Structures are given as C-alpha cells and as structure tokens.
C-alpha cells in the first residue's frame, strides 16, 4: 500500500509517529512535509497530498494540522478527493464506512499521539459499506453537477431559484440523522471528558463547533473569532475548620455546610436555640447562630424538610447562620458530599444585592458531637430538647452560654475563561438584517464524577449537534442566494449546567442589541424519550411559545402542521409546573428580558446526569425531525416582513 502524508507546523511529531507505524507494516509512505515546527501555509501541503490521491499515485492520504479543518477544505477542492475530518477513532470508522473518505484529516492540537494512531488504525481497519452510502458519495461529485448546470438554459435556472425562494424544504431536509450521529459520536465521546465548563473537554468541544462553523462558510462574527469570552471564577471546597468553644468538629464526619457559602469565617458567634421557626419572628437573633432541630418522621431524620423556610426566616431576622442538628449525618452526607467537594463555577462579577432565596450560611451537625453545647443552659442536653419537641412541647428560645460558633472555610479559587461559540449569519435584507433571531443550545455537561465520564449525549449533545445542522441548513440557503432576510445567530453556550452562565453572560453582553432580538429558539435534550412517551417518540415538549407572543405560538403550530406533524406537548408550559423546566435552560435569560422564546425538550430519562447518557442511545431520526421543526419555525421568523410582536404579559414570574 502507498500512502501520502503531509501537514503544517502543528503536526510534525504526530506525522512522524504515523509514518513509523505505516512503515512498520511495510507500507510505502510519500512525505509531503512539513517536518518542522516553523510556521508554514497548510494549503501547500494539503494540495500536494490531495494531488497524489487525485492522480491515483497513492491508495489514500493523511493530512494533519491544528484543527484539521483547513487541510480538509483545501483537499476537497480536488476532483475525486473526499477528505474526512476525524477527532476520534469512532468518527474515523464512520468517514470510511459511510463516506469512503480517501484522505484522513487529524487535528493535531486536540489529540495525543496515541489517539492519533488509534484514529489511523480505526480508519484502515474499516471498509466502505456501499449500498445507500454509495449513492450519497456519488452526489459529492459537485464538479460534474456544475458542468450539467452550466449547460441548462438560464431561464430554467432562474425559474427554479424564484420558485424556491419561499420554500424551506430543500434546506430543512439537509438536517439528517446521519450527520447528527457523526457529530455526536465526536462531541459525546470519552475524548471530550464530559465537556465540563472550565475543563479541557469543554475547550475541545468549543473548538470542534467553531471548526464546523468555519467549514460551512460562516465567518467569525467580529472578523476575528467565533468565541465570546465568558469570565468565570472556579472554586473548590477543600474543607473547613469548625469548633464550638474550643471543641473541634470534623468536616464530613461531624458536620456539613451548604455550598455557595457567602461568609467564609466566623469567630465566637453566640448560639441561640430555637424550638419552633415561628419564634424567629419574635426573638432577637441578630448576630447569633440559630440552632434548630432537624425534622424527624417515625424516628428518621429528614435533614432538608422545612429547611428553606427556616433559612429564610432566620435571614430575615438578622441571624448570622443556621445550625441544623440531627441524628445520623451520614444520611445527608452521602447525597451532599459529591456536590459539596467538587468544583463550582460562577460568573466573575459582583454578586447582585438581591436574589431569589437566601444564602445565609447553613451548617448541619451530627447530634452526637453536641454534648458540651448545653452546659449551663436550661435545656441540659440534646436528648431532652429533642424529646420535648417530639412530644409537641414548647421550648422557649434559649441562649447557650457555654457555646460559641467558630468556622473558617478552606477553599481554592481561580479565574477561568469559558467560551460561547457564535455562528453569525448576516441577513440579506438591508433593513431587516438589523434584527436577529437567536438559536441556542448548551455544549457543556457535568464532566467526570467519581471517576466516571458523563458524556451528555442527550444533555445537551443532542441540542448542540442540532444547532450545527441548523447552521448548515441556513448556509445552504445562503449559498443558493436565498439566505435569511434577518440575521441569524446560532450560538452554543457554555456553563448551562453551572446555572445558565453562558446565556446570562450573553444577555448582559450581547453582540446584537436585545431590543433588536426577535426571538430565541432554545434546544435542550431532544434525543431520547421520557416515561410518558415510551410508545411513540414523535413528540416534543414546547415551553414558553405562547408566553410573550401569540404570533410566535401560531407560527410554531403552523410550521408543525404544515411540515413535521409531531405531537406538540405543552405539559410543562405552566407556571405551577413543579419541575420548573421553564427556568432550567438558556431560553430563560432571553425571556426575562422580554424576548419571545420557545424551549424544545423531550423530557428527562433514567440516564439524566448519569454516565449512561451515551450517543448509542440517541434516537437520531427523532432528533432530526425536531431539528427540522426548529428550522421551519426559524425560517418564518427570519423571513416574514414584520417581526413578531410582544403582545402578552408573561404569567411565568421572573426570578
């Protein structure tokens, strides 16, 4: 076998490793450079390898550069060359099996030498499947098609263009199950390590998305980059030292505390026992740590039962902290430890003065460690106090004269940068292009938990790859001279799993004024089914479509009735929905700014935020249909003469 290999300055080490492997198998290798890390122009080497393949001088080619995007685009300019980009072994198999790629392109900056070798091996071991894929591969031969079109009468071409201006079907049909799967096999692979915000896997995902935007002809939104930096602060709790009047408590064994604690140190804070939360309304607890008993049901401690009410009342009364005492802290420790000790991320900015709920420092303490607290008090002991409460007896507020609360948080904090990835398509109408439709999904997930990679194929790999396909569908229209009249921003955001951070940052720092933002269509988890739809997957939950604009709702309904005929389920589109899904994805940060939204969602399932959320379980045909519904809705919003009106008062309250 004869193989041509080349690449730019990003890949000499990987190129040498692959060459050694091929030569060890007695294959002849044609070296098309470069062998140096000094900067070169990647097209020079890509064209050399592609020419070898085009002429039949070699059996296949290998191209290497930083993202592999540029060399792939260069090679595909050659007749008969099918250059396929592979970020991992699974995709390498697919580019051979489904696309019969004869040039393998590998991103040197995003794979190790070992991974690069695995990509080559997977490609070489796979055969082209043929069949329906043969027909599709033949359609790649665009040069022949171009010749045919040149021979057709101009009047015929003009008629076809005119007829298809208002017809979105050809573009919507480019959103295919196969393409969705090819993208998701990359983004939801182990190589991306669960795409946690602030970690290398998320950086890889952002680079993959940006490279796709570039490959389909979307220019950087500001002329330089596809990224909007999101300023973040990452922190991790290492522990804390706590004591009561000199007697130490052991973190995790004796006590826990709520994450996000706003005050990191306490010194000799007086402790006030409260038997009934109602007493907080009539007791001066300012400057005190309020000690309350955890609720019990049939002898079992319910640590979090009623706790939010206690915390709110204590904060309003001016207490410094809440100390919850109960039996057997191991019950809540098993639930809280993973979230308490893992890294957390927030936006790097001043915290708002007012926010929903309370952040009063809250500690949970095992009762077995409190014997010395009750000394010199009327309560005498934990058991006596607890027994009186269990019997319904009133225990008046009591100061613990021998107990003062001390605490020092131990945590690490660092500034990090996340990235929203923006694919901006300018509108073709000189007036309407000043308005923008925003389509979103979040590409981050929860990363690695207890050593297990959570790949997040559905959450929200399914939405992310759908945005990639939507971008391609719109660019097909652009290339045909029928791009959207309004501008369209296809944005994959970071930090959703950390609290909708990327979309909140965008809403505070929009690249297009919010006043000129027509609507937001947000896609999150559309690749699986929930327990209510196990018998029929042709459905989608819609949330928010009728809350700000009656016209948006009508457009959505009409698009579905005309093109996709999915079952539109509005179960969660109610302010009293206990799941509060309306507040749990990125559309919310647009809706709270009075921008009409639709949230596309298929519900939760047994693998939600679990290691089993893998790409093999995704229903790609279902995902493609929902993606097409989004496109048809977006097409109308982006092309109708008048932007939709905000004509309703949202009955979902703003947080």
Active site residues: 65, 98
Contacts of residue 148, defined as CB under 8 A and 6 or more positions apart, other chains included, come to none
Report the C-alpha gap between 208 and 110 in whole angstroms: 9
Q: Which of 323, 307, 310, 314 is nearest to 373 (CA)?
A: 323
The residue among 6, 59, 56, 55 whose CA lies nearest residue 35 is: 6
- Cα distances (angstroms) measured from residue 163 to each of 167, 168, 169: 7, 11, 12
Spatial distance between the Cα atoms of 134 and 145, rounded to a whole number of angstroms: 17
Spatial separation of the C-alpha atoms in residues 442 and 7, rounded to whole Å: 32
The candidate with the shortest Cα–Cα distance to 302, out of 277, 258, 335, 272, is 335
Q: For residue 459, what is the DSSP state?
A: I
Q: Which two tokens stand for residue 44?
A: 């020079």
Which residues does 210 contact at the CB level (< 8 Å), separation at least 6? 226, 227, 421
Inter-residue contact 593 to 516 (CB < 8 Å): no
What stretches of 49-200 adopt beta strand conformation (E)? Answer: 60-65, 83-85, 103-107
- The C-alpha atoms of residue 171 and residue 216 are separated, in whole angstroms, by 14
How is residue 403 annotated by DSSP?
E
Tell me the two tokens of residue 242: 């706590």
> Hey, how many other C-beta atoms are within 10 angstroms of the C-beta on 557?
15
Decide if 584 contacts 138 (C-beta within 8 A): no
H-helix segments, 326-378: 330-341
**DSSP strand E in 313-397: where?**
321-326, 344-347, 362-366
User: How many C-beta atoms surround the C-beta of residue 402 within 10 A?
Assistant: 13
Neighbour-count burial for 11-41, b at 16+ CB within 10 Å, e otherwise: bbebbebbbebbeeeeeebebbbbeeeeebe
Owner of token pair 């009656």? 550
Sign of CA dihedral 239, 234, 611, 335: positive
How far apart, in whole angstroms, are the C-alpha atoms of residue 519 and residue 556?
12
Distance CA 594, CA 650 (A): 8
Contact of 588 with 500, CB cutoff 8 Å = yes
Structure tokens at 244: 């009561």
Whether the CB-CB separation of 600 and 623 falls below 8 Å is answered with: no
CB neighbourhood size of 328 (10 A): 14
């Amino acid at each position: 076998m004869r193989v041509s290999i080349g690449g730019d300055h990003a890949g000499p080490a990987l190129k040498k490793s692959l060459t050694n492997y091929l030569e060890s198998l007695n294959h002849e290798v044609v070296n098309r450079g470069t062998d140096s890390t000094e900067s070169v122009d990647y097209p020079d080497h890509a064209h050399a390898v592609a020419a070898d393949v085009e002429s039949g001088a070699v059996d296949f080619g290998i191209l290497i550069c930083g993202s592999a995007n540029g060399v792939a685009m260069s090679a595909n300019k050659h007749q008969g060359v099918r250059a396929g980009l592979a970020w991992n072994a699974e995709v390498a198999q697919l580019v051979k099996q489904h696309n019969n790629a004869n040039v393998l392109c590998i991103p040197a900056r995003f794979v190790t030498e070992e991974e690069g070798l695995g990509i080559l091996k997977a490609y070489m071991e796979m055969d082209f499947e043929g069949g329906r894929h043969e027909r599709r591969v033949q359609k790649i031969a665009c040069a022949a098609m171009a010749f045919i079109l040149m021979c057709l009468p101009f009047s015929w071409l003009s008629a076809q263009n005119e007829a298809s201006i208002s017809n979105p079907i050809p573009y919507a049909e480019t959103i295919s199950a196969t393409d969705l799967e090819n993208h998701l096999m990359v983004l939801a692979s182990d190589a991306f390590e669960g795409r946690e915000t602030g970690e290398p896997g998320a950086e890889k995902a952002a680079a993959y998305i940006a490279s796709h935007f570039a490959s389909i002809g979307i220019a950087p939104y500001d002329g330089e980059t596809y990224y909007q930096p999101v300023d973040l602060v990452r922190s991790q709790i290492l522990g804390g030292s706590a004591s009561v009047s000199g007697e130490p408590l052991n973190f995790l064994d004796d006590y826990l505390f709520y994450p996000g604690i706003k005050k990191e140190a306490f010194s000799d804070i007086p402790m006030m026992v409260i038997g009934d939360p109602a007493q907080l309304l009539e007791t001066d607890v300012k400057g005190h740590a309020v000690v309350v008993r955890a609720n019990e049901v049939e002898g079992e401690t319910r640590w979090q039962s009623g706790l939010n009410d206690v915390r709110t009342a204590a904060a309003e009364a001016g207490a410094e902290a809440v100390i919850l005492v109960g039996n057997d802290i191991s019950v809540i420790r098993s639930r809280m430890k993973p979230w308490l000790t893992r890294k957390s991320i927030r936006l790097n900015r001043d915290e708002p003065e007012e926010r929903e709920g309370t952040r009063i420092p809250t500690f949970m303490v095992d009762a077995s460690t409190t014997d010395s607290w009750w000394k010199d008090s009327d309560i005498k002991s934990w058991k006596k106090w607890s027994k009186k409460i269990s019997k319904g007896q009133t225990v008046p507020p009591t100061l613990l004269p021998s107990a003062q609360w001390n605490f020092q948080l131990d945590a690490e904090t660092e500034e990090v940068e996340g990235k929203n990835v923006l694919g901006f398509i300018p509108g073709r109408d000189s007036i309407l292009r000043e308005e923008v439709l925003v389509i979103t999904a979040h590409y981050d997930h929860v990363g690695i938990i207890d050593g297990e990679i959570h790949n997040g194929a559905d959450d929200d790999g399914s939405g992310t790859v759908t945005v990639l396909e939507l971008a391609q569908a719109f660019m097909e229209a652009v290339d045909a001279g029928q791009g959207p009249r309004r501008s369209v921003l296809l944005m994959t955001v970071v930090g959703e799993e950390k609290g909708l951070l990327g979309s909140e940052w965008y809403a505070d720092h929009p690249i297009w004024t919010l006043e000129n933002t027509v609507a937001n269509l947000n896609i999150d988890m559309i690749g699986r089914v929930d327990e209510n739809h196990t018998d029929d997957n042709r459905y989608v939950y819609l949330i928010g479509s009728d809350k700000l604009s009656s016209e948006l709702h009508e457009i959505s309904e009409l698009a579905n009735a005309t093109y996709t005929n999915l079952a539109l389920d509005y179960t969660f589109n109610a302010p009293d929905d206990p799941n509060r899904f309306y507040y749990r994805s990125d559309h919310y940060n647009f809706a709270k700014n009075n921008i009409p939204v639709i949230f596309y969602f298929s519900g939760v399932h047994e693998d939600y935020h679990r290691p089993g959320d893998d790409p093999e379980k995704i229903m790609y045909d279902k995902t493609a249909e929902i993606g097409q519904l989004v496109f048809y809705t977006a097409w109308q919003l982006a092309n109708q003469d008048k932007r939709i009106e905000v004509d309703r008062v949202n009955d979902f309250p703003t947080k």
